[in-house]
């Protein structure tokens, strides 16, 4: 098998998992280089990793560049992405700088791998909550055509990055010891709390940037701007693994039984749906697993041709690092 020179740009939560998953998935690498803003040594799974400075010249001879897009590396693709492409590198960007750029495919390989055809060297990873929601929704859309989605997300702190994980852990420890609970990463305490705010509020629409992303990215990935999408994105005191409640209205009738059958045969999705036996998707079970878990599948009593679903997925794996690597694997396969 041909082997490739690979680099990862950014070594925060997502970049670290990119390195781990490239090794775990046995990606055909001739070399692996980690780039960031400063030269240093990081330790991943007990092994030292030399980090080099990200510069245009660093992409010379590289075949694939994975831009992690978090913790200061966000925006790196804006500065260096197209420069890497000019130097013959295929860029897969986890950040949001180019997701809605008409030149750039926005890809979940199990759903719209065809969008990779005729790419111009830069490919975007969707937002983590979009990916986790669409993994079960896309197969159902293909079967019965979605008219409307109402999504409520329960997003883990790892989506904000390693400092947010540390903040949650420190707050829980302080609370247990009867000490004052401080916060820096979030505007309020996240431990034992829910923040109905993911992203920022840039206009007077009342929507957060995360909510806007979910709607626009859903339209682009499914290739259907007619789908009405309403959502509320919330941050919850979970370390890793996003969960999403989905109320979905279809053009055609579809029963819960039909939905379970479709999803049980859909790649990257695992049905966990026996609530009487306390079996349903949970972030603890989804964390560090490839598949998005879906369950609580039932009729939506508020509309005709409606279903309600609950799904959980690893926002750092399938929602970010894993999906990016799968894009590269798809390109190699093709």
Reading the block at residue 193, the tokens are 């709390």
Task: State the Cα–Cα distance between residues 146 and 256, nearest whole angstrom.
Answer: 15
Task: State the Cα–Cα distance between residues 320 and 58, nearest whole angstrom.
Answer: 23
200 contacts 120 by C-beta, under 8 angstroms: no
Task: State the Cα–Cα distance between residues 185 and 183, nearest whole angstrom.
Answer: 6
- Per-residue pLDDT at 75: 77
Nearest to 242 by CA among 162, 151, 324, 319: 319
Count how many residues are written for the chain: 334
- Per-residue pLDDT at 72: 41
223 contacts 201 by C-beta, under 8 angstroms: no
Name residues whose C-beta falls within 8 Å of residue 259's C-beta, 6 or more positions apart in sequence: 140, 297, 307, 309
Residue numbers annotated as active site? 128, 242
- Per-residue pLDDT at 334: 80
- Per-residue pLDDT at 73: 47
Task: State the Cα–Cα distance between residues 206 and 11, nearest whole angstrom.
Answer: 33
The ranges assigned to domains in the chain are 4-125+320-333, 130-315
3-state secondary structure of 209: helix
251 contacts 315 by C-beta, under 8 angstroms: no
Strands 306-313 and 292-299: antiparallel
Look at the domain 130-315 and name its fold.
Dihydrodipicolinate Reductase; domain 2 (3.30.360)
Task: State the Cα–Cα distance between residues 113 and 284, nearest whole angstrom.
Answer: 29
pTM: 0.95
φ/ψ (deg, to 5) at 195: -110, 115
Chain Cα centroid distance, residue 197: 17
Q: How many Å from the N-terminal Cα to the C-terminal Cα in the chain?
A: 14
Rg (CA), the chain: 20
- Per-residue pLDDT at 69: 81
- DSSP string for residues in 135-176: HHHHHHHHHH-EEEEEEEEEE-GGGT-HHHHHHHHHHHHHHH
3-state secondary structure of 3: coil
- Say if domain 4-125+320-333 classifies as CATH 3.40.50.410: no
28 contacts 53 by C-beta, under 8 angstroms: no
Task: State the Cα–Cα distance between residues 205 and 208, nearest whole angstrom.
Answer: 8
Angle, in degrees to the nearest 10, between helices 128-144 and 256-264: 120
DSSP state of 84: H
Q: How many CA atoms lie within 13 A of 294 on its CB side?
A: 31
Give, for 284, the enclosing helix (H) or strand (E): helix 283-286
DSSP state of 242: E
Q: Which regions of the chain are under pLDDT 70? A: 70-74
């Amino acid at each position: 098998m041909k082997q490739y020179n690979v680099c990862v740009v950014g070594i925060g939560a997502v970049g670290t998992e990119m390195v781990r998953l490239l090794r775990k998935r046995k990606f055909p690498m001739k070399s692996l280089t980690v780039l960031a803003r400063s030269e240093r040594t990081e330790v991943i799974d007990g092994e030292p990793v030399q980090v080099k400075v990200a510069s245009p010249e660093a992409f010379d001879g590289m075949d694939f560049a994975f831009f992690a897009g978090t913790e200061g590396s966000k925006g790196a693709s804006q500065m260096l992405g197209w420069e890497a492409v000019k130097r013959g590198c295929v860029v897969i960007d986890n950040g949001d700088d180019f997701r809605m750029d008409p030149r750039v495919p926005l890809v979940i390989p199990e759903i719209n791998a065809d969008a990779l055809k005729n790419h111009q060297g830069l490919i975007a990873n969707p937002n983590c909550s979009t990916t986790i929601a669409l993994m079960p929704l896309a197969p159902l859309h293909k079967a019965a055509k979605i008219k409307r989605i109402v999504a409520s997300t329960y997003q883990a702190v790892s989506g904000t990055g390693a400092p947010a994980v540390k903040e949650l852990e420190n707050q829980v420890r302080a609370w247990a010891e009867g000490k004052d609970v401080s916060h820096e990463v979030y505007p309020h305490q996240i431990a034992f709390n829910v923040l109905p705010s993911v992203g920022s509020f840039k206009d007077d629409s009342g929507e957060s940037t995360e909510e806007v992303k979910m709607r626009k990215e859903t339209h682009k990935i499914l290739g259907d701007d007619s789908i009405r999408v309403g959502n509320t994105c919330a941050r919850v005191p979970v370390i890793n693994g996003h969960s999403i409640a989905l109320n979905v209205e279809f053009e055609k009738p579809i029963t819960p039984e039909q939905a379970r059958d479709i999803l049980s045969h859909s790649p990257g999705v695992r049905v966990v749906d026996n609530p009487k036996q306390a079996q349903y998707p949970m972030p603890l079970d989804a964390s560090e697993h490839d598949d998005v878990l879906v369950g609580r599948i039932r009729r939506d009593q508020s509309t005709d041709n409606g279903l309600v679903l609950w799904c959980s997925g690893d926002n750092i794996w399938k929602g970010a690092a894993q999906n990016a690597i799968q894009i590269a694997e798809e390109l190699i396969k093709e």
